[in-house]
Structure 1
Amino acid sequence: MLTREEFLKYLRGALNHLYDDPGYLRRSPLATLLGVADRFDAPAALRRILIEAIESLEPMGDEPPQSPAWQIYGALYYRYVQQLSRQQVADQLGISVRQLSRWQRAALETLTDVLWEQFDLERKLSESVEGPLEQGPMVAPTVDEELAWLKEVPPEAPVDLHQMLLAVLERIQPLATQYGVHLEITALEDLPYLAVHQLALKQILLNLISVAIHQVPGGTITISGKRLPQEVEIEIRCAGGHPGVAPVANNDQASVEMAYYLVNMCRGKLDLSIDQGKFDARLTIPALEQLPVLVIDDNVDTLRLLQRYTSNTRYHLIGTDDPNQVLTLVERFSPRIIVLDVMMPQVDGWELLALLKQHPLTHHIPIIVCTILPQEELADSLGADGYIRKPVKRQAFLAALDRLAGRREPVSR
């Protein structure tokens, strides 16, 4: 029978290979114990289970920052979910590396308790003494589960729209030929790279163009791109054709629904007009590093973490651990958003917030207070436009930036 120490060993191994080796996760005994070994997406399913179990340990907002609950959660979240080094995790938690080792052991024990109870492992292991470990019931992943990585994982690299469209048209050309449709690309010069997952954008375009082909057999589909202030608009238009010559595919509605879903996951926008013989789509995708964001935090590891969060997104992060440099950096970079830590040794962050809200250079810039303190109401009363409680998660950070990115600046300063 599997011992608790063996389970801890398997758990530690899976966490150490959470992102870098899908084969390891697929072969891990945890995949069998937690009922996902036979799924086609076993590595992703196991990864989701472990991350969700860690996130379930996040303390309530009124828990003191230095409490054991926060230390346990931070030891797991920063080390395994955020993949920080041991030194970086220790710095983030304000403890030594030696102390972190003790907290990590306690954290793994706590995580084991969560999984042990959630998956009823005591019963499963007792029933499998004479045979292989019993697997849980097979449940097909939902769309949200299957595609959660689009929000959780940063894009691997910026996307060149022209190269992307060439690849998409090559892939879909046989279908276009079958329906007698001519495909052409126009007006793609001087466009910025896109802050989007390449695979997601490719599937969005394949879905939309395949539906367009069904609408205009014998016609022409033109794809163009246009630079917007912070995004790129991709337009797919149809002309000519013989409506009704070819039957509309039964799965066109499903293709459109999936396109909308993927666009939303990629923080884009889709406007679509479709009818027999007519098709007009306008797809808006965030452009890469078009929006400067100034972050003031005395913890350089936090600055590095937020830099990772905004990598290959539409945000260009400028970080400083010196609050006295704020106005100089504002003049130099004209940030669209300021993210401010209020627990800094050099200055009182609350006073700095009040100053920035009154200064002619910064009074119009939205400010997000990012702190370990449970003081959202205070931040709001002092004029903050947003609040994020540390430890910061990537999705929450980008969502906060997204909420403020659409605000228009006053014309004058």
Structure 2
Amino acid sequence: MPNPPQMPKAPSPEEMTRWVRSALAHLYDAASLQTHPLNALLDADKTLDTITRAQRLRRLLLDGIESLRPRSTLATIPQAARAYAILSYRYVDGLTMDEITNKLSLSRRQIYREHEKGIEAIAVLLADQYSANQPPNPAASNLELAQVEVSRLRQSLRTESLSLSDVLDGVLALLSPMAEQAGVEVNVQLTPNLPNLPNVQADRVQLRQALIGVLAYALEIASASVRLNISSATNRVKVDVAASALKATPCDEDAADAECVELAIAKALIEAQGGQLAFTSNPTTWQAALHLPATQQATLLVIDDNADLVALFRRYLAGHQVNVIGITESERALQLAAELQPALILLDVMMPGLDGWEVLQHLQSTPETGHIPVVVCSVMKEHKLAHSMGARGCLTKPVSQGDFLEMVRRWLGDLQPI
């Protein structure tokens, strides 16, 4: 009987910190990550292929940065959140240390000190994972990581109106060394009737991570080119990604293999923001279709049999570019949601006829409405049930203006005045 694989000797804290620092410096260099010494700890039994090893290590490092994210959504950055802000700006946004210094109005010495604190925190996190002696099962880790990511996103998501052009430019600049190393050409095309990229409603950091995950995967499996085509429809912006002349077999959309972890996480990131992400492939081409909500005068659909509540919500939003539409008939509400494609739905579960829980199930299971975020608004405090059925949030009646506006801003971003 063959002997079980021997776990490598645990590195010292200084060595682990040095490894994390070097891995972050080459975060989008697939060749460096494939042979990085951290893989000896995180894949001790060597069950992962080289591409998957690089993907998994990149995801663990990004998750390490995200673990430092503060729970508070205050505009100011407290001292405890500096390490997260600096690492996120440096390795997710691709800013230089000088740019971060100017952005945070801190001295270079403070920036480098907090940067080092963040790296040490991630090193401790990975060391703890190694000490737990639980090498991840490749089939399970994909699903587990996706579930953890979605759970965290629902607590920290903050959408805003973003320039898709700026976001894409930043992501492509970040991945350009990877494209050059792979010898893959990246082309961005706009449909003829779309002279400029429209703004999208999304969380900047999470949209960037999703795009990085999709495009990095495309660069890893393509041997010729990766093409991006941008188009726009009512309330939506579509980004089609196509990788041609494949040098590896793409994973299936529903596969739980470890090699698909980046795509599973990207899909969770996009869906958490009210978007959609789907994958298809044939023997020569792999494609990703990404749909994002466009920034415009948002429509808020209120499904409630109390017309006075709809009027109250309109008063709460008076002076802002939000179109509030109320519907009292649950059956008609399903049709209206598909037609209007609102940016957000507020749903009362105490409805005559088809009750709110049934409406929620229909909204979630119907392709035309499954991507629309739904917030349950009711006197019943069934928050766990609502979340388990796909609701993105809950409001308890009576609803104060403060709670209402906080929930609306979470999904619509900063409310623009009329």
Q: TM-score, normalised by structure 1?
A: 0.42
Q: TM-score, normalised by structure 2?
A: 0.41
Structure ID, larger Rg: 1
